[in-house]
Amino acid sequence: MAESEAAAGAALAPATSSREERSSPGAGDARILFVGDVVGGIGRHTLLDCLPILRERYAPTFVVVNGENAAGGLGITPKIADQMFAAGVDAITLGNHAYHRREIYPYLETQKPIVRPANYLRSQPGRGVCVVERGGVRLGVVSLSGNLYLRAGRSAFTEIEVALNEIGDVEHILVDMHAEATSEKVAMGWHLDGRVTAVVGTHTHVPTADARVLPGGTAYITDVGMTGPRGGVIGVKREQAIASLLTQMPVRFETSEEDPWLMSVLISCSQRLRADSIEQVLMPRPADTSRDR
């Protein structure tokens, strides 16, 4: 499908409600832009500067952003989440830093499309799934945390079934598998192949070279990367990270501002719960911006 057709579809498709309309040919047409972990103010401004360019270039139906490092590199605040929604972000996913900022707790209990890992304890604030709709196409978004080297109260592999049941009948489902271990992410991709539109990995901040559509039709990548400073060490000023490793002593970490990039994937779909393609979209922050940091 030509890009212009996708753009027109996203803009003009009426809000359908009947199952018949949703299952008609073309009901699965969508483009999902998923943006990797936004790190600090530099990451937020890179996102805001790049989004209009990406919208014009790819006409995404949905924009989903991992925002768990958006507030000074750790956590997210209501103000930052609102800023992202105002910029046209459809849903925000989180991860192991979801609760770093206390002021986000009540916000996570609202109906805003912001999700923390579904396999956290039920007693923890927030929810693990949400559904957003654009032009009659519904996208279910699931946040999951890996269980290796990260603190998650329940298994990602059992709780995903509960999450998928909760989402119910939608055209597309995107799962953000926020995990340290590549093995868990690869396994989740295979586990969900043919049942969801995409499984995208986050958390390591380094994009991997394995983006592909699995045989059952699920788009997969082990890590999307981060939206933040490539000149640091996964977001931290590199001299501080190196000093910590050299001295083995506590070092105060600050977010690097050097060489900011947006790292994302674009998933194109023409059938329900299936991806036609997944491509990495990696771009430096535009040089001519005058936005305050």
Can you say whether the dihedral through the CA atoms of 227, 231, 234, 235 is positive or negative?
negative
Beta bridge partners of 170: none
For residue 13, give the 3-state DSSP assignment.
coil
CA-CA distance, 185 to 188, in Å (whole number)? 5
- In degrees and rounded to multiples of 5, residue 141 shows phi and psi of -120, 130
Q: Are 29 and 6 within 8 A, CB to CB?
A: yes
Count the neighbouring beta carbons within 10 Å of the beta carbon of residue 55.
14
Structure tokens at 17: 């409600």
- In degrees and rounded to multiples of 5, residue 260 shows phi and psi of -75, 135
Site string for Fe ion, 175-204 (x = CB under 5 A): ----------------------------x-
Q: Count residues binding Fe ion (CB under 5 A).
A: 3
Residue from 61, 77, 96, 147 in contact with Fe ion (CB under 5 A):
96
Structure tokens at 196: 């969801």
Q: How far is the CB of 90 from Fe ion (least distance, A)?
A: 21
Taking CB under 5 A as the binding criterion, the range among 19-27, 93-101, 233-241, 272-280 that sits at the site for Fe ion is: 93-101
Taking CB under 5 A as the binding criterion, the range among 94-102, 128-136, 141-149, 213-221 that sits at the site for Fe ion is: 94-102
| Cβ proximity to Fe ion, 67 vs 217, nearer residue | 67
Write out the DSSP string of 153-212.
Answer: SS-HHHHHHHHHHHH-S-SEEEEEEE-S-HHHHHHHHHHHBTTBSEEEEESS-S--S--E
Site string for Fe ion, 201-230 (x = CB under 5 A): --x---------------------------
**Pairing mode of beta strands 129-134, 219-221:** unpaired
Residue from 40, 41, 60, 95 in contact with Fe ion (CB under 5 A):
95
| Cβ proximity to Fe ion, 214 vs 241, nearer residue | 241
Q: How far is the CB of 203 from Fe ion (least distance, A)?
A: 4
Q: How far is the CB of 69 from Fe ion (least distance, A)?
A: 7
Taking CB under 5 A as the binding criterion, the range among 5-13, 51-59, 89-97, 168-176 that sits at the site for Fe ion is: 89-97
Beta bridge partners of 247: none
Q: How far is the CB of 178 from Fe ion (least distance, A)?
A: 6
Taking CB under 5 A as the binding criterion, the range among 83-91, 92-100, 122-130, 252-260 that sits at the site for Fe ion is: 92-100
Q: How far is the CB of 145 from Fe ion (least distance, A)?
A: 9
Structure tokens at 156: 């990602």
| Cβ proximity to Fe ion, 31 vs 203, nearer residue | 203
Q: Is 97 a catalytic residue?
A: yes
| Cβ proximity to Fe ion, 46 vs 204, nearer residue | 204
Residue numbers at the binding site for Fe ion (CB under 5 A):
95-96, 203
Q: Would you please indicate which residues are annotated as catalytic (active-site) residues?
A: 97
